[in-house]
Amino acid sequence: MRILVWLFRAFVFFTLFAFALNNQQLAVVRWFFGVEWHAPMVIVVLAAFAAGCAVGVLAMVPSWWRHRRIAKRHKPAATTAQMPDPNSAPPSDFAPEHPPREGP
């Protein structure tokens, strides 16, 4: 399985590397008020991808915080009701399956 994972990683790396080599020509990004940015095409695509990932993560943050708050609110009730204290004595009706032997 590890070999397949490493083969997949190598495939992704070489695909992106070939993409970068094939897109070395200069690209111009025109902003507002006549501002221009000159950079290789691969850098422009990488910057657009990174900006899209950042916007997606920032859009998910409020939902993550809400779910985290809800999970914290419900966590103490669930853990105390279901999880016995490992240091406590067994219940009084606990009896070993075989009583201990006496004598030699």
- Check residues 86 and 30 and name the one with the higher pLDDT: 30
- For the chain, the average pLDDT equals 82
- Report yes or no: 41 and 24 within 8 Å, Cβ to Cβ: yes
List the domain boundaries for the chain.
42-81
CA distances from 13 to 3, 6, 19 (A): 15, 10, 10
- Would you say residue 33 has pLDDT above 80? yes
pTM: 0.52
